[in-house]
C-alpha cells in the first residue's frame, strides 16, 4: 500500500467522525499489508482530533501480516492514543463486543 492510499483511508475515518455522530469505530486491518513509512505517525496525529469530535472508543482488528501488526503496536505506543480509550483485537466480533461493553459502562 502506498502512503497516499493509507492516508486516504485514515482521512475517510476522520471525515466520518467529523461529519456524523460517531462515538466508536473499528479499523479492520486483517488484510492490511505493511504500513508505509510515515503511516503510523499520520494515523496517530489524527487520533486526538477524532476524540475532539466525540469519539469515545476506537478499536483495531490486528492484521494477519506480522509486520503490519507491529505497525499497529507502534500506533498504540503513541501517547495521544493511550490517553483515549482504545484497544486491539483479533476479530471484528471481539471489537464490537468491547465497544458495547465500554459504552454501557460509560452510560452507567
Q: What one-character-per-residue DSSP string does the chain give?
A: --HHHHHHHHHHHHHHHHHS--SEEEEE-TT--PPPTTHHHHHHHHHHHHHHTT--EEEEEPPSSHHHHHHHHHHHHSHHHHTSEEEEESSHHHHHHHHHHHHHHHH-
Tell me the whole-structure pTM to 2 decimals. 0.64
Q: What is the mean pLDDT of residues 26-50?
A: 83
Which percentage of the chain shows pLDDT scores above 70?
80
Query: pLDDT tens across 6-24, in order?
Result: 899 999 999 999 999 999 9
Q: Count of domains in the chain?
A: 1
Could you give the CA distance from residue 89 to residue 13 in angstroms, rounded to a whole number? 18
Please tell me the predicted confidence (pLDDT) of residue 44.
83
* CA distance between the termini of the chain: 42
Full residue range of the structural domain in which residue 97 is found = 3-107
Amino acid at each position: 500500500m502506498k502512503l497516499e492510499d493509507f492516508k486516504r483511508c485514515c482521512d475517510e475515518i476522520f471525515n466520518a467522525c467529523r461529519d456524523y455522530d460517531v462515538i466508536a469505530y473499528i479499523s479492520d486491518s486483517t488484510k492490511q499489508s505493511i504500513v508505509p513509512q510515515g503511516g503510523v505517525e499520520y494515523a496517530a496525529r489524527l487520533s486526538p482530533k477524532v476524540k475532539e469530535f466525540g469519539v469515545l472508543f476506537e478499536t483495531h482488528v490486528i492484521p494477519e501480516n506480522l509486520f503490519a501488526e507491529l505497525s499497529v503496536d507502534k500506533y498504540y505506543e503513541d501517547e495521544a492514543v493511550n490517553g483515549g480509550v482504545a484497544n486491539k483485537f483479533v476479530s471484528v466480533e471481539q471489537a464490537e463486543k468491547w465497544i458495547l461493553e465500554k459504552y454501557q459502562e460509560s452510560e452507567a
